[in-house]
Amino acid sequence: NAGVTQTPKFRVLKTGQSMTLLCAQDMNHEYMYWYRQDPGMGLRLIHYSVGEGTTAKGEVPDGYNVSRLKKQNFLLGLESAAPSQTSVYFCASSYDLGKRYTGELFFGEGSRLTVL
């Protein structure tokens, strides 16, 4: 039982390049999230999904796209990377307690992205 797995763990990009971060969970959770963590800024929500085929914007969605084609996977894409997107990205998943109430978030180990 791996929990939440993120790939890759490290990546260096040049400005303007594109890439995709993959998150996979094996807990059959309905909800999945992408957060970014920057020094002194805490965890800020980028995009999230409340079920397969659905996505929604979070607090800082600009410059990112997401897809949830399968329940267990949540992809975060950067179409044209910028230095401001240098950050540590965390994926999380949680179960649905009913009426869209979320339970505990289970986090992955993080993906460190540097954009030069």
Partner 1 sequence: GENVEQHPSTLSVQEGDSAVIKCTYSDSASNYFPWYKQELGKGPQLIIDIRSNVGEKKDQRIAVTLNKTAKHFSLHITETQPEDSAVYFCAGGGYSTLTFGKGTMLLVSP
Closest by Cα among 116, 109, 107, 114 to 7: 109
Residue 45 contacts partner 1 per CB under 8 A: yes
Q: Which of 14, 42, 69, 98 binds partner 1 (CB under 8 A)?
A: 42
89 is a contact residue toward partner 1 (CB under 8 A)? no
User: Which phi and psi (to 5°) does residue 84 adopt?
Assistant: -65, -10
The reply on whether position 76 binds partner 1 by CB under 8 A is no
Amino acid at site 78: L
Residue 68 CB coordination number (10 Å): 20
Residues near partner 1 (CB under 8 A): 4, 31, 33, 35, 40-45, 48, 50, 56, 58-59, 90, 92, 100-102, 104-105, 107-110
